Structure 1
Amino acid sequence: MSGCVFCGIVAGTVPAFRVTDEADGVAFLDTRPVFRGHVLVAPRTHLVTLADLPPESIAGYFGLVRRLAVAVEAGLDAGGTFVAMNNKVSQSVPHLHTHVVPRTKGDGLRGFFWPRTRYADDAEAQSYADRVAAALSSGPGRV
């Protein structure tokens, strides 16, 4: 897609520090990493959100993400990885991508990047679970 920086990286017209370039996607270093070695994995096709990823592409794409998570940990002697994806909100580049961030104990990253909250009670929690379950069984992207 014209104007998409990740499409440019995939096409090779925008420079990037590539980690791998495969049929299921391209992995490259984030230019503003949470920690050094923070990798972004993007599908070759321009898709905006996870909902846009065709069902037949899921295994290949997430297989690549999984392999990158293992490689980041092994290659950087990290204690683990944080794997995350934004859809629409906080998605700085509107091209589907997954963050694979190396982690070490005591690295200063606390939980998630956003504040945490609690449910008022079990009834409120159950109401949220029920709403998501209802949408899962009847909405778009139904599995």
Structure 2
Amino acid sequence: MSDCIFCSLANGEIPTDMVYEDDRIACFRDADPQAPVHVLMVPKEHIASLEELDESYRDLMGYMMVKIHEIAASEGLENGYRVVINTGEDGQQTVKHLHIHLLGKRKMTWPPG
């Protein structure tokens, strides 16, 4: 999608602090971090939100979930971390491209907000 900032970041059209990248996903540091480590994981395919997922995305989502551990380890999050997917307006999704927040290196509070 040409007007999606996350598509542009994931495809290298806009420079970013890339943490990990392969043919399916891109992981980069959040421009407005909410924790000392705040990485966004996005699929390279434009998917607006969890609401668009169906059975055809099962492999991609499983792949992303498994990769979280690898990224967390590479970021030194051995003491724990939080994973968040915001969906829709009430879920505070601000960019209409599915993304996973990986947050760590501080004590998380509950409830989150």
The 1:19–1:3 alpha-carbon spacing in structure 2 relative to 1, beyond 3 Å, is: same
CA distance in 2, matches of 1:112, 1:78: 22
Choose the corresponding residue for 2:101, options 94, 99, 102. Answer: 99
State the Cα RMSD in Å: 2.0
SS of 1:56's partner is: helix
In the alignment, which residue of structure 2 is the partner of 1:13?
13
TM-score normalised to structure 2 length:
0.82
TM-score normalised to structure 1 length:
0.67
Number of aligned residue pairs: give it: 111
In the alignment, which residue of structure 2 is the partner of 1:137?
none
**Greater relative contact order (Cα < 8 A, sep 6+):** 2
Stretches of structure 1 lacking an aligned partner (at least 5 in a row): 115-143
More helix by share: 1
Equivalent position amino acid for 1:38 in 2: H
CA distance in 2, matches of 1:40, 1:29: 6
Q: Residues 17 and 29 of structure 1 are in contact (CA less than 8 Å); yes or no, is this contact kept in structure 2?
A: yes
In the alignment, which residue of structure 1 is the partner of 2:3?
3
Stretches of structure 2 lacking an aligned partner (at least 5 in a row): none
More strand by share: 2
Larger gyration radius, structure 1 or structure 2: 1
**For 1:43-58, what aligned pairs fall within 5 Å after superposition?**
43-58=43-58
